[in-house]
Amino acid sequence: MASDRPILEAALTAGLNLPHSCKSGHCSSCRVRLRAGEIEYPNGVPLGLTAQEAQAGNILLCQARARSDLIVEARLIANVTDVEIKTLPCRIAQLTPLAPDVMQVFLRLPAVEALRFQPGQYLDILLNGGRRRSFSIASPPHDSELLELHVRRVPGGAFTDGLFGAPAVGSLLRIEGPIGQFVYQENSSPLLMIAGGTGFAPLKSMLRHLLEGGIDKPIHLYWGARRAQDVYEEKLVLGWARRHPQLRFTAVLSEATEAKAPHHRLGWVHEAVLADHASLEPFDVYTAGPPALIEAIRASFPHRGVRQDRLFFDSFDYGS
């Protein structure tokens, strides 16, 4: 049946947790093989789909619209299928500015409801007119009385402008979640965690899960940002590093002119990781941030030995 909704959005609404990440046509995580039916890309063939992949019958669910009934061949999702996707009401319990353009938002669910999720997953805030805005859950599953989000302000954004404008504490929202396959995988490998901007949010959930759960393994967190003020929870992470010797922390600043702290570096965050590690083979790599960061890591890290099945990423554009 013809629809103006992306196929991925329709699938998620129906409770089908299909593989996906950025929802913007860049990362190709939602690539599937079209076995039968017709689709259309209203905005043209997305950048994340090569001509060879399209010719082979692949489509990107986040951009494609169905123009008939479809049969697609999708990858199976492991480890998250036992989590029920729910639509729930909640209220904004607390708002705390973390940076000039980043707000920490705590959501309170009804007392009789709970949202089971895994570290790294996200939720959708459901807005009027069928619109959705996706935000990673920054709190860990063991501390989920309030759900923590990190929301970056997008100028002119109907949802984000409201958070930074008139007081919104107590406002009622509807959410859907948990969603996503970017989740922590239990094993003994040392970890490299790479955040770009508010990509720190899902990694914060994972880090709290690890550190507060007593999981003792080497972790090196790299946080890429424009300037020092954009590493908006630096003091928190430095406190973690003092209490947990297995955690190392490096902030990499792309627009700063000098490194004012021992843990600061200048440049691009993925290049800092490559400069520090001649081989990435021993590591599990978790990275979250904008599409350009994810594309750079996917292009360069395999050449340093990281296994494709040990490279986990969450690519997203900032929702307004």
DSSP 8-class letter at 64: -
Nearest to 138 by CA among 85, 186, 87, 207: 207
List, for residues 264-293, the tens digit of each pLDDT value.
999 999 999 999 999 999 999 999 999 899
Q: What is the pLDDT along the chain (320 residues), one digit of tens a residue?
A: 456 889 888 887 776 767 676 677 766 668 888 999 999 998 888 877 777 788 889 898 989 999 998 998 876 554 454 567 788 999 999 999 999 999 999 999 998 888 899 999 999 898 887 778 889 999 999 998 999 999 998 887 767 777 777 667 888 999 988 888 889 999 999 999 999 999 999 999 999 999 999 999 999 999 999 999 999 999 999 999 999 999 999 999 999 999 989 999 999 999 999 999 999 999 999 999 998 999 899 899 999 999 988 999 888 765 55
Spatial contact of 198 and 205, defined as CB atoms under 8 Å apart: no
Helix (H, G, I), strand (E, B) or coil at 32: strand
What pLDDT does residue 238 have?
98
DSSP 8-class letter at 6: B
Q: Rounded to 5 degrees, what angle do the CA atoms 91, 104, 186 make?
A: 95
**What are the backbone dihedrals phi and psi of residue 141, each rounded to the nearest 5 degrees, phi first?**
-60, -30
Spatial contact of 243 and 228, defined as CB atoms under 8 Å apart: no
Please provide the average confidence, as pLDDT, over all residues in the chain. 88
Which distant-in-sequence residues (6+ apart) come within 8 Å of 246 by Cβ?
Answer: 216, 217, 218, 219
Which distant-in-sequence residues (6+ apart) come within 8 Å of 196 by Cβ?
Answer: 224, 225, 269, 287, 288, 289, 290, 293
Could you tell me which residues are beta bridge partners of residue 224?
Answer: 196, 252
- Crossing angle (nearest 10°) for helices 200-212 and 234-243: 20
DSSP 167-231: --TT-EEEEEEEE-S-----SS--EEEEEEGGGHHHHHHHHHHHHHTT----EEEEEEESSGGGS
List, for residues 61-100, the tens digit of each pLDDT value.
989 999 998 998 876 554 454 567 788 999 999 999 999 9
Percent of all residues in the chain with a pLDDT value above 70, rounded to a whole number? 91
Q: What is the pTM of this model?
A: 0.79
Q: Rounded to 5 degrees, what angle do the CA atoms 215, 218, 223 make?
A: 105
- Whole-angstrom Cα distance, residue 77 to residue 97? 36
Return the H-helix or E-strand segment holding 246. Answer: none
Q: How many CB atoms lie within 10 A of CB 250?
A: 18
